Amino acid sequence: MLIVRLFCTVVVIALLILAPAISASADGAGPVVPRAAIKVLVSPLQVRFLAAVSEQLVTKYRLQPLDVSTVLAAPAVKAFCAGIGPETPDVIAIPRQMAKREYNQCIENGVIDIVELSPGFDALVLVTRRDDLVFNMTLRAMFFALAATVPQGDEFVPNAVKRWRELDPRLPDQEINVLGSENGTAINAFFKEIFMEGGCRGLHQFKSIYSSADRVKGCTALREDGRFIGIKAPIAINFKPAMERAPRGSIAVVPYTVYQHNADWLSLIPVDGVTPSDETIKSDDYAAVSPVRFYVKRKHMEASFGGLGVVTGLYKFIEEAMSEGAIGTGGYLDVLGLVVDDADDRRRDRESAMRLQPFKR
Amino acid sequence: MTILRHGLFLALLFGLLLAAGERASVLAQTQAAAVDGRHPVDVVPPLAGPALASMPAGLSARRTMVGGLENGGQVLALDFAAADDSVQALGGSGALDDTGAGDQRGMLGRWFDNVAYWLGTAYTTVTDGFTPPSPETFAKGMRTSSPDDFWKLVGDAGYKLKGISTDVGLVPDVAFSFRYVRELSDGDINWLERKLRHHENKYHDPLSYAQRAIIYTLLSINTSNYYYVEELKVKLLPLPTASFNLNPWDNDLNWEHDTLLRAIQGQKHARRKPVEEESRY
């Protein structure tokens, strides 16, 4: 009797010890060998930031360089939220906060305990040549200037507007010529969301459309008669030649960092009365601010951080990306054009990231 | 909390009844004074409108409440004040009652009037945060409201006013129903969240907090993969409340809707039969 009881106890203890391992391997989440390189999906706008962090990880911590792939924000989040395991990305870097729908998808697929890093902000700005006229632009004017079709009464007609003055008597009497990142890029997607969707929001012809997909399609389709000139990626390199070829009075939509690197010959155009600056971007007063966000899977960290050990060095990545040397004033991400937060906010964000505080939406 | 609420309610009710009784007494005395030819000029009409003034006293208090709500609750407070003034004008002159008994009852009535006035003011302060000035002006004035207005935020969240229901009584009620009419895109959600952040930076009072909580709740439910709030109902009494009527996202369209949708899409031949008919095959 005693032997049977002893045997049962041993079996129960053995099961208790082995259960997590069995369960982990059963759902396919248990990695065999941890990956050496952190897998990152990054939106094109953020590549430069991730490259700089990667360099620091190699030199400071002797880690493998980041395995960076460039994709747009939505597919990046989709891949990130697909599940846990070595085949899925460990980190994504996108120019916006993860949407509630995406977050819910993550949770459904078992991607819980996501850590959000908020290193700073980026923004899209309107610029013109320094010797051209600077005027106050509105989101509404941008929409009516660049939409493929515009509402007229209860109908939508092809956009035939040629001069800004035709849209608003307060706008200058000059030709509409707008340069921006070409279709299919992250900058273009952000431009459409802020300027085009924002410009048509509130128009009753669009408000009466139930489906968001139909509404967005109608709002964001750009005219193709040459009024909008697409700049090929990378915009930082191709912007200057494109602007030089463009007619006088042309306006360009570029990331704030591109303006900063060309500030000697460009002027900023206020949008809805707010001129972009570090202050108006940080305070979110400027309309086209994009909060840079990195998302990290805690489950991919080493077991000592509560993870499954999918990859090594993930905590070091967080530590480095949120360090004062990176996001502090004069830090290497600041130099690369990231609009960094105030000292207090930085400290708060850093503490939250280091504590691996789970992101909630 | 419940006891306190009941206590306040009873005090309000008692105050209303006393005020009504006071008005009945004043009205009777006014009529008597008019007949006698005494102080015809000093008499202040007890209620705002001539039609109301000629109403039976029992009804007048109720109508006052309704009138108050129709005007955003402000008239409720003002009218009690006016009634108080009228009582003071009459009682204070001593023209109508020389015995002093009327004064005693008037003092009690005034006390209750003050309680009712205070409750009315507190009530309107609370409800005005959630309710538009009046159903009529609200129905007309959605577009003219300020961008920070709660009603604008409700509209931005994809809702449109469906109806206003009112209950007339000693404790009247007004409820505003909103129907979900516009699916939000990710851009809309980001924009609305930004707007709410600005609202949060600008307004720190509990009412604004509650308003934002309603919008955040709508956003939170509607961005889930399972349910959406089909109807939002904002009620006023006993305290301002918002109720959310949830529907599953994957709720199948009924056959009429389906037929209509397919007709719009030009797939007229794909008409689905009602379930009853389908089950026969």
Can you spell out the DSSP letters for A290-310?
Answer: EEEEEEEEGGGS-GGGTS--S
Supply the pLDDT for residue B65.
33
Do A180 and A228 meet the contact criterion of CB atoms below 8 Å apart? yes
Is A210 in CB contact (< 8 Å) with chain B?
Answer: yes
Domain layout of chain A by residue ranges? 31-122+290-354, 123-289
pLDDT band at B253 (very low <50, low <70, confident <90, very high): low
User: Does the pLDDT value for residue B15 go beyond 60?
Assistant: no
Q: Given this model, what pLDDT does residue A251 score?
A: 96
Least confident of A257-266, B93-102, B202-211: B93-102
| Residue B55 touches partner A, C-beta closer than 8 Å | no
Question: With bands split at pLDDT 50, 70 and 90, how would you rate the model's confidence at B123?
Answer: low
The least confident of A231-235, A288-292, B129-133 is B129-133
pLDDT in tens, A329-352: 999 999 888 999 999 999 999 999
| pLDDT of the residue at B21 | 43
Region B86-95: what's the mean pLDDT?
A: 34
The predicted structure's pLDDT at residue B119: 53
Read off the pLDDT of each residue in A45-72 and give the average, rounded to a whole number.
Answer: 92
> What confidence score (pLDDT) does residue B69 get?
33
d(CA B190, CA A73): 14
A193:B187 CB<8 A: yes
How many beta-carbon pairs under 8 angstroms link A with B? Answer: 51
State the nearest Cα–Cα gap between B116 and chain A, in angstroms.
Answer: 42
Q: What angle do CA B182, B192, B73 make, to 5 degrees?
A: 85
Answer with the residue of higher pLDDT: B158 or B207: B158
Instruction: Indicate whether A132 pLDDT > 70.
Output: yes
How high is the pLDDT of residue A72? 79
Amino acid A14: pLDDT: 56
Q: For the purposes of burial, counting CB atoms within 10 Å of the CB of B173, is it exposed (0-12), middle (13-18) or buried (19 or more)?
A: middle
Q: Residue B149 CB: number of other CB atoms within 10 A?
A: 16
- Contact call for A284 and B194, based on CB within 8 A: yes
Count of CB atoms situated within 10 Å of the CB of B127: 20
Mean pLDDT of the region B155-162: 92
What is the structure's pLDDT at B130?
54
Q: Return the DSSP state at A359.
A: P
B113: Cβ contacts below 8 Å, ≥ 6 apart: B15, B18, B19, B22, B80, B83, B84, B87
Residue from A109, A215, A220 whose CB has the most chain B CBs within 10 Å, to mutate: A215
Percent of residues in chain A assigned helix, strand, coil, to nearest 5: 45, 20, 35
Look at residue B205 and tell me whether its pLDDT is greater than 60.
yes
Highest-pLDDT range among A165-169, B58-62, B114-118, B263-267: A165-169
CB contact under 8 A, A96 and B190: yes
B245 CA: distance to closest CA in chain A (Å): 19
Residue B72 to chain A, least CA–CA distance (Å): 27
Whether omega for the bond prior to residue A151 falls within 30 degrees of 0, making it cis, is: no
Q: What percent of chain B has pLDDT over 90?
A: 12
The answer to whether B265 faces chain A, any CB pair under 8 Å, is no
Distance CA B64, CA B67 (A): 5
Query: How much is the average pLDDT of A42-70?
Result: 91
Residues 191-230, chain B, touching A (beta carbon < 8 A) = 191, 194, 197-198, 219-220, 223-225
Joined together, the tokens standing for residue B115 give 């309680």
Chain A, residues 119-148, CB within 8 A of chain B, namely none
CB contact under 8 A, B225 and A104: yes
pLDDT of residue B172: 78
Instruction: Round the CA-based radius of gyration of chain B to a whole number and report it.
Output: 26
* DSSP label of A163: B
Task: Name the residue with tokens 């507190």.
Answer: B122
Query: Chain B residues with CB inside 8 Å of A210's CB?
Result: 181-183
If you average pLDDT over residues B61-84, what whole number do you get?
32
| A124: three-class secondary structure by DSSP | strand
Summary mean pLDDT of chain B: 60
Does any CB of chain B come closer than 8 Å to the CB of residue A217?
no
Do the chains contact at A209 and B182, CB–CB below 8 Å?
Answer: yes
Interface test with A, best of B144, B145, B185 (most A CBs within 10 A): B185
Q: Which residue of A has its CA nearest to B216?
A: A361
Enumerate the residues of chain A whose CB falls inside 8 A of the CB of residue B225: 101, 104-105, 108
Closest CA to A172 of A134, A143, A221: A134
Q: Which residues 43-62 of chain A have a CB within 8 Å of chain B? A: none
Q: Do B189 and A209 touch (CB under 8 A)?
A: no
Give the pLDDT of residue A184: 83
Q: What is the pLDDT of residue A48?
A: 86
What pLDDT does A192 receive? 94
Residue B47 scores a pLDDT above 60: no
In this prediction, residue A290 carries a pLDDT of 87
pLDDT at A9: 67
Weakest mean pLDDT among A163-167, B22-26, B101-105 = B22-26
- φ, ψ of residue B279 in degrees (nearest 5): -65, -15
pLDDT for residue A15: 52
What is the residue-averaged pLDDT of chain A? 89
Cis-peptide, bond into residue B238, ω within 30° of zero: yes
pLDDT band (50, 70, 90) for residue B254: low
- Report pLDDT for A7: 65
Is B56 an 8 Å CB contact of chain A? Answer: no
CA distance A65 to B246: 48
Q: Which residues of B touch A194 (CB under 8 A)?
A: 187
In CATH terms, is domain A31-122+290-354 a member of 3.40.190.10? yes
In 3D, which of B177, B169, B174, B173 has the Cα closest to residue B232?
B177
A282 in contact with B at a CB cutoff of 8 Å? Answer: no
pLDDT confidence of residue A93: 94
For chain B, list the strands marked E by DSSP.
159-167, 173-180, 227-235, 241-248
Q: How far is CA B193 from the centre of its chain?
A: 27
Q: Do domains A31-122+290-354 and A123-289 have the same CATH topology?
A: yes
CA distance B15 to chain A (A): 47
Q: Which CATH number fits domain A123-289: 3.30.1360.70, 3.40.190.80, 3.40.50.1220, 3.40.190.10?
A: 3.40.190.10
Give residue limits of the domains in chain B: 2-128, 135-248
Q: What is the DSSP string of A49-98?
A: HHHHHHHHHHHHH-PPPPEEEE--HHHHHHHHTT-SSTTS-SEEEESSPP
CA–CA distance, A293 with A316 (Å, rounded to integer): 17
In chain A, pLDDT over 70 holds for what percent of residues?
A: 91
Rounded Cα distance between B214 and A230, Å, is: 42
pLDDT reported for residue B238? 65
For chain B, what percent of residues have pLDDT higher than 70? 35
Residue B34's pLDDT is 40
User: Is the minimum CB–CB distance between B257 and chain A shorter than 8 Å?
Assistant: no
Band (pLDDT 50/70/90 cuts) for residue A104 is confident
Name the residue facing A212 among B185, B190, B198 (closest C-beta): B185
pTM over 0.80: no
B175 interfacial to chain A (CB closer than 8 Å): no
Determine the distance from the C-alpha atom of residue A71 to the mean position of all C-alpha atoms in its chain, rounded to a whole number.
11
